[in-house]
């Protein structure tokens, strides 16, 4: 932990933060130093002990990043089957913000260090993030405007970074009746880094947010991604997570349904093999009447991999007529794979409809037999079943353009 303080001082010396910013950063650093990396003693991290994972995968982690030199953008990494707006992060540095397809006066990029927002008690990683992020941009979508093209955020790392902690943060505000489609794409060419990503979304009345996170390329990094979503009346948020490539990835979504008739949808796929350990943790807080949430998580686990789903639905006493649903299903394909779930309900209102289901097990031998008796070999039968199992989640994606893109990307057939 001495390293943290040293690297922090180093950053403060070399960058030009205002005095006030430095003070706030120091406050966050102090809080992080008190708590350290989360470990299994905290209920939230019971199944995946980050402290242990970091010390196992990264020997000496460094918190210092030099953001003064720009990186060359490798355009071959861009998606070319879909016209889109771009934000490009390379090794944690913002290299490009491009909203060429949109009305200039409808999308605003604001350079803020809006750190005062009181989110410190969530966990120590948010504090780490706030202490070390060098830039924080806010994307503001003006009222009544829907982005013509989706926004893709590229998270690129290359072999220049190793054993680093990279923090990045973005804020989004969707004004009344606006909408945003956002895809996070992870392209890693580095290893042994710890990426700590924090997004904050403010959804005003009638706005729609769709966020798709695709972690597909195989890499040896450790990632933590936190989405905080505040939802006003009639707003809709849809989050899709494809969790597959990194050594460790934890996606956490905290969603506050503050306004009536707001709804949140979270769908996720774990497709893991080879010692990978991934987690999805959701917190849906139903805070007022007539709100709705739906979660569907499916896992396919091979060779020694491990998936964790912790889903929580909280309904406070004001939130009558809440409709909450969680379903998690897992297929364990190998002896040594493991699936842990903690689908939690905490309910203080009586006129609610809340339920959850969780099932885990092996592939159904009867179904395989059925397919093989119709001429498929074992491997084909197995693939067909897994394909169908995952397709269920893909079909939940409401945007057909992006649905097709994701289908092609992860190789799930219709």
Partner 1 sequence: MDNREKEIENLKDYKYGFSTDIENTRAPKGLNEEVIKFISNIKKEPQWMLDFRLKAFERFKLLKEPDWQKPKYPKIDYQDLYYYSAPKSMDDKPKSLDELDPKLLETYKKLGIPLQEQARLNGIAVDAVFDSVSVATTFKDELTKKGIIFCSISEAIQKHPDLVKKYLGSVIPITDHFFATLNSAVFTDGSFVYIPEGVKCPMELSTYFRINASETGQFERTLIIADKRSYVSYLEGCTAPMRDENQLHAANVELVALDDAEIKYSTVQNWYPGDKDGKGGIYNFVTKRGLCKGKNSKISWTQVETGSAITWKYPSCILKGDNSVGEFYSIAITNNHQKADTGTKMIHLGKNTKSKIISKGISAGHSDMTYRGLVDISSKANNSNNYTQCDSLLMGNKCGAHTVPYIKNKNSKSNIAHEATTSKISEEQLHYCQQRGLNSEEAVGLIVNGFCKEVLQQLPMEFAVEAQKLVGISLEGSVG
| Contacting positions for partner 1 (CB under 8 A) | 43, 317, 320, 330, 332-362
Q: How far is the CB of 269 from partner 1 (least distance, A)?
A: 18
Compute the distance between CA of residue 386 and CA of residue 143 in angstroms, rounded to an integer. 42
Q: How far is the CB of 259 from partner 1 (least distance, A)?
A: 20
11 vs 390 by CB, closer to partner 1: 390
Q: How far is the CB of 311 from partner 1 (least distance, A)?
A: 11
233 vs 312 by CB, closer to partner 1: 312
Q: How far is the CB of 241 from partner 1 (least distance, A)?
A: 20
Compute the distance between CA of residue 266 and CA of residue 24 in angstroms, rounded to an integer. 33
Q: Say which residue the tokens 């842990």 belong to.
A: 340
Compute the distance between CA of residue 13 and CA of residue 355 in angstroms, rounded to an integer. 53
Q: How far is the CB of 330 from partner 1 (least distance, A)?
A: 7
How many other CB atoms are there within 10 angstroms of residue 89's CB atom? 21
28 vs 339 by CB, closer to partner 1: 339
The Cα-based distances of 84 to 148, 295, 306 in angstroms read 9, 28, 34
Compute the distance between CA of residue 255 and CA of residue 277 in angstroms, rounded to an integer. 24
Would you give the distance in Å from CA 53 to the centre of its chain?
19
259 vs 343 by CB, closer to partner 1: 343
Cβ atoms of 262 and 234 closer than 8 Å: yes
21 vs 302 by CB, closer to partner 1: 302
150 vs 268 by CB, closer to partner 1: 268
319 vs 402 by CB, closer to partner 1: 319
Q: How far is the CB of 303 from partner 1 (least distance, A)?
A: 11
Compute the distance between CA of residue 290 and CA of residue 259 in angstroms, rounded to an integer. 9
Q: How far is the CB of 215 from partner 1 (least distance, A)?
A: 23
Q: Say which residue the tokens 């491990």 belong to.
A: 306
What are residue 241's phi and psi, to 5 degrees?
-125, 125
The Cα-based distances of 401 to 82, 107, 147 in angstroms read 8, 22, 14
């Amino acid at each position: 932990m001495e390293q943290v303080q040293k690297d922090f001082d180093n950053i403060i010396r070399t960058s030009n933060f205002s005095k006030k910013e430095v003070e706030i950063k120091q406050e966050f650093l102090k809080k992080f130093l008190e708590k350290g990396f989360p470990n299994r003693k905290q209920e939230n991290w019971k199944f995946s002990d980050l402290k242990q994972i970091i010390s196992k995968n990264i020997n000496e982690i460094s918190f210092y990043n030099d953001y003064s030199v720009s990186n060359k953008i490798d355009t071959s990494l861009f998606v070319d089957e879909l016209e889109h707006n771009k934000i490009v992060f390379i090794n944690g540095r913002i290299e490009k913000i491009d909203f060429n397809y949109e009305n200039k006066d409808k999308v605003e990029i604001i350079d803020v260090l809006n750190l005062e927002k009181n989110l410190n008690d969530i966990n120590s990683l948010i504090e780490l993030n706030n202490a070390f992020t060098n830039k924080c941009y806010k994307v503001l979508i003006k009222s009544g405007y829907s982005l013509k093209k989706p926004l893709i955020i590229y998270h690129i790392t290359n072999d220049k970074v190793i054993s680093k902690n990279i923090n990045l943060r973005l804020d989004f505000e969707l004004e009344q009746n606006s909408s945003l489609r956002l895809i996070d794409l992870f392209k890693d060419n580095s290893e042994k880094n710890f990426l700590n990503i924090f997004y904050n979304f403010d959804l005003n009345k009638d706005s729609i947010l769709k966020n798709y996170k695709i972690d597909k390329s195989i890499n040896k990094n450790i990632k933590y991604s936190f989405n905080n979503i505040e939802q006003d009346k009639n707003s809709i948020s849809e989050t899709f997570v494809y969790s597959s490539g990194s050594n460790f990835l934890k996606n956490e979504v905290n969603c506050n349904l503050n306004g009536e008739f707001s709804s949140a949808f979270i769908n996720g796929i774990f497709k893991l093999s080879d010692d990978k350990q991934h987690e999805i943790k959701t917190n849906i807080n139903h805070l007022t009447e007539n709100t709705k949430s739906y979660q569907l998580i499916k896992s396919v686990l091979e060779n020694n991999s491990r998936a964790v789903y912790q889903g929580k639905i909280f309904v406070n006493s004001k939130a009558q007529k809440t409709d909450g649903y969680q379903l998690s299903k897992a297929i364990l394909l190998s002896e040594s794979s493991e699936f842990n779930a903690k689908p939690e309900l905490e309910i203080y209102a009586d006129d609610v409809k809340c339920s959850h289901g969780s099932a885990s097990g092996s592939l159904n031998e009867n179904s395989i037999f059925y397919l093989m008796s119709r001429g498929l070999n074992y491997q084909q039968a197995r693939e067909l079943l897994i394909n169908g199992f995952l397709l269920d989640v893909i079909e939940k994606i409401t945007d057909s353009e992006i649905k097709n893109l994701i289908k092609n990307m992860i190789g799930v057939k219709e």
